[in-house]
Structure formats: C-alpha cells, structure tokens
Amino acid sequence: MITPLHHSDYTLKNRAFNCRMRNRYYEEVYYAFRAMFPNEVADRKEPNPVADTIWFQHLGLETKHFERRLMTCLEYAQAAVFYGKAENASLYSKDKRWGILQEEIFLVHFLQELLSTTRYVVARIDTDQMLQQWAGEMQDLKTKPVGSGYVNTIQEKLNEMNATTIVEFKGLLKHVLDRFQIGNTLFGTVQELQNFY
C-alpha cells in the first residue's frame, strides 16, 4: 500500500516543479528576446532603412509571442516562491535544500518590470501600426483630385514621426537588453544554488 504524501511533501514537489518550469521559460524568454532583437539590429551604427523597416514590421507579432512566454515564466516564478503565501516559505539560510533565495524573489520583481515594459512596447507598436494605416489613407486622399488642404501638413508630420519611431524602439529594446544582464546574473545564481532532484 502506498502511503500518501504529507502536505509539505506536495508543497516541496510543487516548488521543485515550479522552479524547473521557471528556469525553462526564463531561457525561452531570453532567447525569444534575442531573436526579436538580434545583435545585427542592436549593434548597427549606421542606419539601414530597408533592413530596419523589415525588422520593425515583424516586431509587433514577435513581441506578442514574447509577452506570452514572459507571462508564463512570471507565473512559475511567483509559484516557486509561494508569492502571496508567506506561510509556505522558508529562506535558503535556514533550509539549503528547499529554502527560497533572495535572488528568486528579486527575479520575480525583475520579470514583473520586464512584463510591464513589454506591454508598453506592444501598445506602442499597435498604436504605431494604426498611425501607419492612417498615413496610408492620407496618402490615398492626396492622389484624389479634391483639394488636399491640411492633408499635406499632416502627412509631413507623420513622416517626421515615422523617421524617429524605429530609433525610439531600438533605444527601448536596448534598455531591456541591458536589464537582461541583471536578470541573467540572478538566474545564474539561482541555477547554481538550486539542485532539486
């Protein structure tokens, strides 16, 4: 006859599972970000309008995939540290096998900030795409024989804005890339100290 596991045994098994899943998804999140913002885009010093436009057109869809992976990683990271359920938590200093590292808690906050930034980027891309569509419609208006009036002025402003949009997104994603240096250090420490079997 199999003896049922004690409640704390379930809790510990769940912690081990959530830590492994958090680690797996963190790696996926990082590699998805690097695919979304590769070195050739991040490090490009000279503008390349054709390559930048192609990159930016794919960025919206890739960012939404990245956001989904990031949300999953955050959920596992929160579950791994019993986020909001402090009564289940013991610190690593008291329990070297199952205790929670400060780095794990910090990793949760890091992922929350990363998700907030990602949602901002997604919203900005959606807004930019609407403006691009509107700019196309404005261009169509200019080709019609009706007097264009304010259309030319608005079109000029949209073109000026579009010229700086890609530069702005590159700067924002470079900021996220710098943040990943902190996240990767945290993640490395957590992986080194945790050995659930």
99-121 residue pLDDT tens: 788 889 899 999 999 999 999 98
Q: Residue 7 has what pLDDT? A: 45
Q: Which DSSP category does 88 fall into?
A: G
DSSP helix/strand/coil, 91: strand
Residue 49: C-alpha distances to residues 13, 33, 36, 43 (Å): 52, 22, 17, 15
Among residues 72, 74, 79, the alpha carbon closest in space to that of 13 is found at 79
* C-alpha span between 195 and 197 (Å, rounded): 6
Among residues 62, 175, 190, the alpha carbon closest in space to that of 116 is found at 175
The encoded tokens of residue 51 equal 């390559």
pLDDT digits (tens, 9 = 90+) for 106-165: 999 999 999 999 999 889 888 887 777 776 666 666 666 555 555 566 666 666 666 678
Q: Residue 77 has what pLDDT? A: 95
46 against 1, higher pLDDT: 46
Residue 70, classified by CB atoms within 10 Å of its CB into exposed (0-12), middle (13-18) or buried (19+), is buried
Q: Residue 96 has what pLDDT? A: 59
Neighbouring residues of 172: CB distance < 8 A, sequence distance ≥ 6: 117, 121
Neighbouring residues of 137: CB distance < 8 A, sequence distance ≥ 6: none
Q: By the 8 A CB rule, do 142 and 151 touch?
A: yes
Among residues 114, 92, 81, the alpha carbon closest in space to that of 11 is found at 81
The encoded tokens of residue 180 equal 């990943």
Q: Residue 31 has what pLDDT? A: 95
The encoded tokens of residue 25 equal 């998804």
